[in-house]
Each structure stands twice: as structure tokens, then as C-alpha cells.
Amino acid sequence: MPAIIQPAVVGATGYAGFELARLLYRHPRSKKPVLFTRDTDDGLAQLDEVYPHISGNGGFPLQPFEWKALRAQGVDVLFLATPHEVSREWVPEAMRHGVRVVDLSGAWRLLQRESRAVYDFHDGDPAAAEQLTSQAVYGIPELHRERLKTAELVANAGCYSTSIILALAPLIRAGLVDLDHGIVCDSKSGVSGAGKQPTQKTHFIEVAENFSAYSVFNHRHTGEILEQLGLSAEQLIFTPHLLPIPRGILSTIYLRLKSPAEAHDVEACMKTFYASSPWVRIFPAGKLPQIQYSLHSNYCDVGFVLAPDRRRAVIVSCLDNLMKGAAGQAVQNMNVMFGWSEEEGLR
């Protein structure tokens, strides 16, 4: 694998794209990333025109996206921090150009058509899209590390999905969870999770001093959770909420175990599962993470409490939606793809 690579980012003017650009600029194995704009960014020449707080760092030049520019600059990996429909259209062309892709949208995360229906994709070549869907590797390194090493297309996992999947995977894979009893995932996210394009629901006057649920039973990340954990729709209730804070996710997960368990055994199950995963921190039994502990980092923090009956459990999972939930995880995926330590450029 090359010691130094040339990355490119489309969508660096968005919140996740900006975090990604900053991470790549300081990554020890990355050349300065090529930052491409789309038509929606017409007239922008420098990223600091949008984010003045990075001024004085040598410049973050932007250039209009063109495939020939991608080839001319020898891009090894293309990050798409673009809307789902844009990624769905551009990825097939990137594959034809032989460029590896890490896509931060939901365009390629879902294998099942019924799960993808929430996006209402209209593919120009449905057969080619189906083939790419089957080839895409779901971008949670802790679950798909080996497949990521040879992946040409990585579908970076969703932010809510990451917080829930990482919390539940060890116990479900160990067969400890009473799935027939069902799992309830009560998740809260900061406003940046809604993206940079403002809507009525994300205006300050709507968010400040408020707390609200949304997309109940039809959130786009539900399909990811079901597919990655092998659950049926009847076994999961997932409700997202909007917190009046800029960033961060906290998921409170309620479940029942198949049989009574000791807290130290549950903790050991989680710690063993993530023994080789530097970005998942398992808290001691009875101690719960908070959003502030993982902010501006690539950590996913997981803690739990068992009820006195030793069968009911509450798991709390926290991460930064722009880092482990988006840009940080994208860089972590890149590190695995190119054979580097998962911690490169993220400490």
C-alpha cells in the first residue's frame, strides 16, 4: 500500500465535509486533499470564505468538480459528502474511473430494496446500481474490518446507526438478547446532524429551549440498524430526537436478556468484542457515558446498567455525529482500506 495518498473531497462546505477536510489536512499519510465544489457552491474559491476561523492556515482552495481534474491530480480515494441522490449518480462513474470511494451519504448503505425505498432512488442503470450495492462495504470498521481492506466502495455508516449498532452488536452476536421481547432505541442528536441546509425545524427559534421527536417509525437509519444487526422490523423501535445543542448523539437502548446475567459478564462480552477496536470505549458496569466525553473525538462510548432482576438492561451509547458518526469514521475507513492503523490522523 502507498505510504502517502492523494484524497479528494466533494462537499467540504458542509458540516461533515468540513470536518473531513480538516482531518485530511493534518493526516500524516495524506497529501493536501483536493477540495471540489458542485454547482451549488458556485463562486467559492476558498473554504475559509465559508469557515473564516480556518483563515491563515495556508489556504483551503476549492475547485469545480470535473472527472478529468480528478484523473489529472492522481486522486487515490474520493470522499463524497454529498446528498444521497448525487452519490447514487456519481459513484458508478467513479468506479469506471478506477477511483476508490468513501461515500458519506446513505446512497449505498442498504442491501434490501424495502429498506432503500425510503430514499426513492431512480437509477439510470438499475442493474449496475444493484451490482454496486452488493459490492459496497458498510463502513463500520469494528464490524467489517477485513472486507474494508479490499473495498472499492465504502458506504460510511449513518450517525444514529453507528451509535446503536456498536452498542448492540456484542450482545446480539453472543446470543444474549431476548429479541422476541423487542429492543427500544431512544436517540438524541445535536442540530448539525440535520445537515447545513436550513429547514423550519432547524432554525434557532424552533430548536432553542426545545426538545422534539421526529421521523417516528420511518427514519432513514432504521434500515441500517435492522440489516447490520439481523433484526426484523417488529423487533426494533427506534425514535430519534432533536437536541438544542450543536453536535453529539446519545442513544438510550432498552432490552431484555434471555436469561439472568452478571454485570461483569456483560461487560466482559463487550470488552472482548472490541478488544482490537481503539475507537470504542466500554465503560465499567454501572457507569454511563455522556455526550461531552466524546465530543470532537472519534470515540463511541458505551456503558450499561442491569436491573436488579439481572435480565433487563439499559445501554447508553454516545458519539460525536460529525466525527465517529461521519468524518472521523470516514478517515478510519480510509486507514483500514490502505492498511494503516485505525488511529492515524485521528488522535
Residues 98-153: pLDDT tens digits? Answer: 999 999 999 999 999 888 888 888 888 899 899 999 999 999 999 999 999 999 99
Marked catalytic residue, from 159, 185, 300, 318: 159
Instruction: State mean pLDDT over 323-338.
Output: 98
Asked if 102 contacts 33 with a C-beta cutoff of 8 angstroms, the reply is no
Residues 282-295: pLDDT tens digits? Answer: 999 999 999 999 99
Rounded Cα distance, 217 and 200, in Å: 21
Q: Is 269 a catalytic residue?
A: no
Q: Is 208 left (phi over 0), alpha (psi -120 to 50) or beta?
A: beta
Distances 73 to 8, 31, 34, 269, 327 between C-alpha atoms, Å = 9, 11, 8, 46, 22
- pLDDT on residue 207: 82
Instruction: State mean pLDDT over 233-246.
Output: 95
Residue 217 CA, chain-centre distance (Å), reads 20
Q: Which CATH number fits domain 160-321: 3.40.50.2300, 3.40.50.300, 3.10.129.10, 3.30.360.10?
A: 3.30.360.10
pLDDT at 198 over 70: no
- pLDDT on residue 102: 98
Dihedral pair phi/psi, residue 322, rounded to 5°: -90, -10
- pLDDT on residue 168: 98
Span 7-157+325-337 CATH architecture: 3-Layer(aba) Sandwich (3.40)
Q: DSSP string covering 15-75, please? A: HHHHHHHHHHHH-TTBPPPEEEE-GGGTT--BGGGT-GGGTTSS--BEEE--HHHHHHTT-
| Domain residue spans of the chain | 7-157+325-337, 160-321
Q: What's the whole-number average pLDDT of the chain?
A: 93
pLDDT at 40 over 70: no
Say whether 264 sits in a helix, a strand or coil: helix
